[in-house]
Structure 1
């Protein structure tokens, strides 16, 4: 079910906001072509869409793209691919990522295809932290996406290392991974594995025949530093390599 659309102009963004089957979309278009960039975003974080938009226009203003940000209700529940114990605090991961992926492929993408001229355009999926892990997991579960941006992905997630050794990508795609240099330097023993796991993820992807291009980029700072800028850098990498393929 699609709710009525509302259009806003915020910080030079002509943005459409709507709900598709209960999940809020924030949609902004730059030009009239290029990839459709789906972004699983932080819930309830003010001005998050505007921040990423500003970062994108600063470094890829010459490129056309359609940004589709989707805002889930519960971060740990809706982006976790399967159930897992809490890594910090007391909140477990409820493992409802498959419902989110079903919504994305069966509700959200068809809505975008009916509403915008996206025929023959690439679909990319991007996310940060647990949403970054979700984006990468989606590439192993479906054949919809030809570009993945996984920034500071939660590679420490329980059984992820086993999962990626047993699965292959479902579609030819380019994958951008990034991590902050301080992220593995934490006292939390579970999360301290993120550096080792991310390096291993890069090696696994480089051996995957459907991974056309793979990069792991390191950033200064910890997990919460410059998330919008890091996502924009990943999208820029995909855009630059997309131009080179033509």
Structure 2
């Protein structure tokens, strides 16, 4: 384990984990799943926005198409791996091993716990609410809500804990694609926002300028800030 002032790094299984600790007691605890880096850019963006009252746990080195996908789905591009449905397995690792170790390192009991992510990790954040009581809030930035049968799953199952606050965002050009699957992303995100609103969650939906790959760091930080 590497310690550096408010930053702790440790590994569990093959996951590379970084905890940015709040100097405050009982600060909210936010999980951010990311493809490979340690989230330093997102944490700095949050600091620039004046958000320091949080413990940010960044989990990296994720097997993206496996760990973040709820079930099998063929690849949407010919040269990419299929989605192999490892979300339940990864969620168990997160809940049973990663979170307990990280929570030993922070001061006090978190005011609330949130789960956040971009793209497939945004899809995973929504899925996690159906599988565990651990999280109180969620932020899904450019979430892959085009995923096969996901909307049906959300509407035909109950969250284990209905989030009290939810943030959804999307780029305003994300649905402008010839791919018939990806094309559904804006309609689905808007529909899910309304669905959770009707269930009683406080929901923010935000449309950002650009496509899926525009300002990912800033969008991620904005989403985390919105649920604090």
TM-score by length of 1: 0.86
Residues in 1 aligned to 2:69 and 2:179: alpha-carbon distance in whole angstroms: 19
2:197 is matched with: 206
Q: Runs of 4+ in structure 1 displaced over 4 angstroms?
A: none
1:67 is matched with: 56
2:119 is matched with: 129
* Cα displacement (A) at 1:28: 1.1
Higher RCO, 1 vs 2 (CA within 8 Å, ≥6 residues apart): 2
Residues in 2 aligned to 1:95 and 1:172: alpha-carbon distance in whole angstroms: 23
Residues in 1 aligned to 2:109 and 2:194: alpha-carbon distance in whole angstroms: 33
2:96 is matched with: 106
Tell me if 1:27 matches 2:23: no
Unaligned runs of 5+ in 2: none
1:194 is matched with: 185
Higher deviation after alignment, 74-83 or 167-176: 167-176
Conserved 8 A contact 2:145-2:189: yes
1:243 is matched with: none
* Cα displacement (A) at 1:15: 2.1
Find the partner of 2:171 among 169, 177, 180: 180
Q: How well do the aligned residues superpose, as a CA RMSD in angstroms?
A: 1.6
Conserved 8 A contact 1:132-1:152: yes
Residues in 2 aligned to 1:103 and 1:226: alpha-carbon distance in whole angstroms: 30
Unaligned runs of 5+ in 1: 240-246
Residues in 1 aligned to 2:62 and 2:102: alpha-carbon distance in whole angstroms: 20
How many residues align? The count is 225
